[in-house]
A = this chain, B = another copy of it.
Amino acid sequence: MDQRVVIIGGDAAGMSAASKIRREQPDRPIIVVERGAHTSYAACGMPYYIGGLIENSDQLIARTPQQFRDKYQIDVRTRHEAIRLDPAAKRVLIRDLNTNAESWLNYGELLLATGACPFCPEVDGLDARGIFGLSTLESGLRVHDALKREQPQKAVVVGGGYIGLEMAEALIRQGLDVALIQRGPQVMATLDPDMGELVSKALRHIGVQLHLNEEFSHFTVENNRVNAVVTNQRSLPADLVILGMGVRPNSQLAAEAGLRLSHKQAIWVDQTMRTSHDHIWAAGDCAVSTHLLTEKPVNIALGTIANKQGVVAGTNIAGGNARFPGIVGTAVSKICAVEVARTGLQETELHHLDIDYATATIKSRTRAGYYPQAGTIHVKMLGEKKTGKLLGAQIVGFEGAAKRIDILATALTAQMTVANIIDLDLSYAPPFSPVWDPVQTAARKLIKAL
């Protein structure tokens, strides 16, 4: 039996798995095939590098390919791309991107950790200079480079998700005029509109020109360089465009080989990270998770999930017995001083699932009201009428606000009721919280509506 493990993709999920296998099996042959030049980099850190908060892009790299080779005896092959998968023969066709030479690589176990790529509109001019998606470290370096070399003045960010907003802030920091267009009526579609509105305010406050309910149409390009973004309502001059329209799983290799796909065309896996095919595993942004509240498959591209799934896949490939139970949809972001977080289900999802729910929103302070620098915090909480159970929560506020979402993510995982949250023995001292933590104040209001 071929003992060799082949891993396609050398970032969070792939290298977490590789490291875990190495710890469990010091002699197992492990080959990592990575299309780019880097491994284990912090993709989430790129907006801060581009915005100038982080000086050196090397800080974003946890471990280099050479470190993996030397210290862990993991055969990392950068600038190599997997282009075809042959499950019957347990082999994968690899192209060396330097030489274009192709060769088959046999595997005993295969892990697909191919990540996600930015969603791109199908329009002309996408290849023009000045237009960037953001996913790999290379793509981040290209934006950084363009800022320095070409001194752009006017940026347009297409899409108001996490990456879009973080990039809008980064470009404001770098002194550009920044416009952001968003198809829907609010930024951050993972928030309910009332909470999204608070984020919109914060964006306008830092100087972002916000165009809501506006649909991207096309680019205008001159001399192969973008000069405007055209929407269904106007033309916005631009010498730098960031596509923040979301990402989609890189599942083409799996799809062509007949592997089962699921939500958003992500690769279907069970809780052990096994795909529909023997000896093939998947983990990270290219794979699905189970949503613990809906029990449905869901694909969310997040480093936390990728790392966890990578460790579970690695454990099982090494002969262990690990499971990744699933997620509750927790996310957090920061737009200058404003912190934003969410977990669980939002109103549109609850409507869709036909769940009878109530909501409550409160405004409180991050510290005791009399303590210096007590900042505003808004907490919205959603609960189920029939059972009294917590369904979700959203937070917008200043320093110290957002990480409170973890209390509610934990409570959701434990299937707590809103009443249970009121009873929680949360920490209190004036520098940290009012005597009723804002999440409990929200629960106290919500329980009256249930």
Question: Residues on A close to B: CB < 8 A?
Answer: 12, 42, 44-45, 48, 53-54, 59-60, 162, 292, 302-305, 307-308, 324-334, 339, 341, 343, 368-372, 400, 402-407, 409-411, 413-414, 416, 420, 422-433, 435-437
Q: Given A400-B403, A403-B400, A404-B406, verify A428-B53 contact (CB < 8 Å).
A: no
CA A103 to CA B433, docked complex, whole Å: 41
Interface contact B425-A409, CB-CB below 8 Å = yes
Measured between beta carbons, the chain B residues less than 8 angstroms from A435 are 12, 42, 44, 303-304, 307
Cα–Cα distance between A329 and B426 once the two chains are bound (Å): 9
B428 and A303 contact, CB distance less than 8 A: yes
How many angstroms from the CA of A328 to the CA of B425 in the assembled complex? Answer: 6
**Cβ–Cβ contact B368 & A427, under 8 A:** no
**Residues A343 and B425 in contact in the complex (CB < 8 Å), given A435-B12, A435-B303:** yes
Contact A410/B403 with A48-B430, A54-B371 known, Cβ cut-off 8 Å: no
B406:A437 contact, CB within 8 angstroms: yes
* Residue in B413, B436, B437 whose CB lies within 8 Å of A424: B413
In the assembled complex, the Cα of A407 lies from the Cα of B327 at a distance in Å of 16
Q: Which of B307, B333, B413, B426 contacts A436 (CB 8 A)?
A: B307
Contact A45 B370 (CB under 8 A): yes
Query: How far is A429 from B422 in the complex, measured between Cα atoms in Å?
Result: 27
Name 14 interchain pairs, CB-CB below 8 A, sorted by A: A12-B435, A44-B368, A53-B371, A324-B423, A334-B431, A339-B432, A400-B403, A403-B404, A403-B432, A405-B427, A406-B426, A407-B410, A409-B424, A410-B411
Collect the chain B residues with CB atoms within 8 Å of residue A402's CB. 427, 432
Please indicate which of the listed interface residues A324, A339, A420, A426 has the most CB atoms of chain B within 10 Å of its own CB.
A426
Whether the pair B332, A432 counts as a contact (CB closer than 8 A) is: yes
- B residues less than 8 Å from A42 (CB atoms): 368, 370, 430, 435
Do the beta carbons of B405 and A414 come within 8 Å of each other?
A: no
By a CB distance below 8 angstroms, the chain B residues around A12 are 435
Q: Which residues of B lie under 8 Å from residue A427 when comparing CB positions?
A: 330-332, 341, 343, 402-403, 405-406, 409
Closest to A372 in B: B53
Q: Of all chain B residues, which has the CB nearest A56? A: B370
Flag if A308 contacts B423 (CB, 8 Å): yes
Query: 15 additional contacts, CB 8 Å, given A307-B435, A406-B424?
Result: A45-B371, A45-B430, A53-B372, A54-B370, A59-B370, A303-B428, A304-B435, A330-B425, A330-B427, A332-B427, A341-B427, A403-B432, A406-B407, A410-B410, A410-B411
CB distance from A269 to the nearest CB of B (A): 15
What residues of chain B lie closer than 8 Å to A331, measured between beta carbons? Answer: 427, 429
Output the least CB separation between A152 and chain B (Å).
Answer: 24
For the complex, give the distance between the alpha carbons of A422 and B368 in Å: 31
The 5 closest A-B pairs by CB, nearest first: A414-B414, A332-B427, A59-B370, A410-B410, A327-B425
A11 to B330, CA, bound (A): 38
CA distance A334 to B367 in the complex (A): 12
- Chain B residue numbers with a CB within 8 Å of A420 are 413
- Which residue of B has the minimal Cβ distance to A49? B370
Is A429 touching B334 in the complex (CB atoms < 8 A)? yes
Contacts of A54 in B (CB 8 A): 370-372
Least Cβ–Cβ distance between A393 and chain B, in angstroms: 11
Bound Cα distance A302, B427 (Å) = 10
* Contact pick for A407, options B305, B407, B436, CB 8 Å: B407
Q: For A44, give its contact among B292, B305, B429 (CB under 8 Å).
A: B429
Q: What residues on B are CB-neighbors of A324 within 8 Å?
A: 423
How far does the Cβ of A304 sit from chain B's closest Cβ, in whole Å?
5
Residues of B within 8 A of A302 (CB): 428
In the bound complex, CA of A404 to CA of B404 (Å)? 8
Partner of A333, one of B45, B424, B429: B429
Cβ–Cβ contact B304 & A425, under 8 A = yes
In the complex, the answer to whether B424 meets A410 with C-beta atoms within 8 Å is yes
A368-B45 contact given A429-B333, A435-B303, CB 8 Å threshold: yes
B425 adjacent to A60 (CB under 8 Å):
no
In whole angstroms, how far apart are the Cα atoms of A17 and B405 in the complex?
A: 29
